[in-house]
Structure 1
Amino acid sequence: MTHAMRFHETGGPEVLVWEKVDVGQPGLGEARVRHTAIGLNYVDTYVRSGAYPASLPSGLGTEAAGVVEAVGPDVTDVKVGDRVAYSGGPQGAYSEERIMPADRLVVLPDGISDQQAAAMMLKGMTAQYLIRQTYMVKEGETILFHAAAGGVGLIACQWAKALGATVIGTVGSDEKAELARAHGCDHPIVYTRENFVERVREITHGSMVPVAYDSVGKDTFSASLDCLSPRGLMVLFGQSSGAVEPLNLGILAQKGSLYVTRPTLGTYAAKRADLLAMAQDLFEVVLSGAVKIEINQTYPLREAATAHRDLQARKTTGSTILTV
């Protein structure tokens, strides 16, 4: 028997319980993975709280790294002994071992540690589709990225800077402003005391930005529209402050024929070929040194509830992992 962190009812971090689970053997198209490191992501709190649906009782987490222990009879994508990582698939990463769809596993290259992989697969792949696909950030452009000191933000700021962009980012404190600045954010804005729309206008000399990336949601969405240049793109990819109110589409016309999209990693990486291409792009930029994956907090898996409390209290920065 192995152990996993699960929940039998939705609610706060206290609903997470450490219990024995029977993993079993992998079937067709499956692999059994022994975890070494697990990624902590804000979306996990949405699932645990009931904001995102889950069939109860449920495991939690969709990002981890480890070693393949067994494979189903038809599996060719991975083999026993491979170091692998994943982001996506069914809930259940908060566990010592688990069964995974083999086509969701990516073999790790030399030079990428298990801990790095667990810290960057979801956040790094999210950054990849945001700045390389949803809107292809180009040299000479100025972009706006909210929560620039968060896990996705620190990776995206470094990556956008490496592409030659000027990065404006919002953060919640002076400490986080310095962290963002050290990771490629040219103009960190402390939104708790600065009006970020006015600051974007000042920084861009009134031209505003072609794209705004927002994982905060309710607290920043409306004002972010005012940061966009005509025909600009609003990319809403999270809602840490709450869901955005229903949008009157006429506002997009009034503010300059704007675009809005609500992308997800699940859609962009649904096909295995796309998943592998995105992972390769991420691995290359990390191995080149242009993007550094820094793990700023580590918690034992058994203390996942504490990790959730700290994450929701905005006590964390960058990437956090749970260790087995």
Structure 2
Amino acid sequence: MHHAIRIHEHGGPEVLRWDELPMPSPGPGEALVRHAAVGLNYIDVYFRTGLYKPPALPATIGMEGAGTVEAVGDGVTELKPGDRVAYATAPIGAYAEFRTIKAERLVKLPGDISFDTAAAMMLQGMTAEYLLLRTFKVQPGQTILIHAAAGGVGLIMCQWAKHLGCTVIGTVGSDEKAALAKAHGCDHPIVYTRDDFQAKVKEITGGKMLPVVYDSVGRDTFMKSLDCLAPYGMLVVFGNASGAVPPFELGMLAAKGSLYLTRPTLATYTAKREELAGSAAALFGVVQKGVVKIEVNQRFPLKDAAEAHRALEGRRTTGSTLLIP
């Protein structure tokens, strides 16, 4: 037997239950992984609340983990028991002491990357990779805006974008978070609870505005994010921590300067094995070189996942948060 955090219904953090379950065994093409650490991400909240629908209830949520291969199923040749691995893709099921997952969704960890670092960075780091290098390929000399700059994805993006030669503007919720973002490559942190970020962007850019805005906040920032863009600029909405963006008139993009709008997902950008491997390799590379430092600022026992969710939704977290089985 082993334990997992499951939801039997959708709702607040209180619906997260610590269930005892039979030990899983790997089927053909699968590996059984003993988790050493599990990553906490806002997408977990979406599955808990029902914004994203799991295949069925009860469901074990969670998208990201790192650990050791315990066994492999028929047809698996690229992995063996004892291999150190990590992942950050569907299907859900990471909030568990053990889980089975398709072997092709796992990547082997370099020896100098710990389980904690891997579980803290895979989803957020590969998200940063596709956003900066593929969704909108940033160029040296560009000025960009990253919302939630002191969060897990935000801190990684600030460091990576700075390394790529960008001037980074970031929104944060407090002076403490502003200092954290600045220490990780954000040139111009804006405390959105005090300052109008659209006005500050106009001031910082001398009225030229921006080629791209990366927005994981959603409803509360959407309209002003559009207004931060220069003509032909792109708004990349990759999350909705404040709620889903309501319907809007498409002609608005034309009126505001022939703007582009996209809603990408990590699932799409890592759907093919070669894309997953390439994204992970790029992430491992910048971490191993010290270009990107992964900040694990909160740890909770896996059985206390509800408290971790309360902290995340209450904006009491910075950097990455781990759940420890």
What's the TM-score, normalizing by structure 1? 0.99
Match of 1:125 in 2: 126
| Identical aligned residues as a percent | 63
Aligned to 1:293: 294
Say whether the 8 Å CA contact 1:106–1:276 is kept in structure 2: yes
SS in 2 for 1:311: helix
Q: Distance in 2 between matches of 1:211 and 1:100?
A: 36
CA distance in structure 1 between the aligned counterparts of 2:72 and 2:133, rounded to whole angstroms = 33
Q: Deviations over 1:216-264 (max 9, x none)?
A: 0000010000100100000000000000011211110111000000000
Q: Does 1:40 align with 2:40?
A: yes
Corresponding position: 1:2 with 2:35: no
1:212-291 equivalent positions in 2, closer than 5 A: 212-291=213-292
Corresponding residue number in structure 2 for 1:27: 27
What amino acid does structure 1 have at the position aligned with 2:315?
R
* AA aligned opposite 1:130: L
Cα distance in structure 1, aligned partners of 2:282 and 2:93: 26
Please say if residues 89 and 101 of structure 1, whose CA atoms lie closer than 8 Å, have aligned partners that are also in contact.
no
State the Cα deviation string for residues 159-208 of structure 1 (Å, max 9, x = none). 00001100000001111000100000000001111111110011011110
* Inter-partner Cα distance in structure 2 for 1:153 and 1:24: 35
Q: Distance in 2 between matches of 1:269 and 1:152?
A: 17
Q: Residues 1-324 of structure 1: matches in 2 within 5 Å?
A: 1-54=1-54, 55-324=56-325
Q: Tell me the amino acid that sits aligned with residue 156 of structure 2.
A: I
- Contact 1:89/1:100, CA 8 A, preserved across alignment: no
Deviation (angstroms), 1:19: 1.1
Distance 1:3 1:187 in 2: 44
Q: Deviations over 1:51-83 (max 9, x none)?
A: 111210000101000000000110123211110
In the alignment, residue 18 of structure 2 is paired with which amino acid?
A: W
Aligned residue for 2:323, secondary structure, equals strand
Shift, 1:90, TM fit: 1.5
* Dislocated runs of 4+, deviation >2 Å: none
* 1:103 partner amino acid: E
Structure 1 residue 23, shift from structure 2 partner: 3.0
Retained in 2: the 8 A contact 1:23–1:99? no
CA distance in 2, matches of 1:136, 1:23: 44
Distance 2:248 2:260 in 1: 12
Q: Which amino acid aligns with 2:13?
A: P
Write the letter of the residue equivalent to 2:17. V
CA deviation after TM superposition for structure 1 residue 267, in Å:
0.1
Q: 1-side partners of 2:286 and 2:262: how far apart?
A: 26
Show CA shifts across 1:269-305 (max 9, x none).
0000100000000000000001000100000101100
> How far is the alpha carbon of 1:15 from its aligned partner?
0.7
Q: Is the 8 A contact 1:137 1:165 kept in 2?
A: yes
Aligned-pair Cα RMSD in Å: 0.7
Within 2, Cα distance between the matches of 1:145 and 1:111?
29
**What amino acid maps onto 1:10 in structure 2?**
H
Q: Do the aligned partners of 2:24 and 2:98 also contact (CA within 8 Å) in 1?
A: no
CA distance in 2, matches of 1:212, 1:169: 10
Asked if the contact 1:2/1:22 (under 8 Å) is kept, the reply is: yes
Distance (whole Å) between structure 2 residues aligned to residue 168 and residue 9 of structure 1 = 39
- One-letter code of the match for 1:33? V
Deviation at 1:39, TM superposition (A): 0.0
Whole-angstrom distance in 2 between the partners of 1:24 and 1:244:
39
Secondary structure of the residue that 1:225 maps to in structure 2? helix
- Cα contact 1:154–1:318 (8 A) shared by 2: yes
User: Which has the larger displacement, 87-96 or 282-291?
Assistant: 87-96
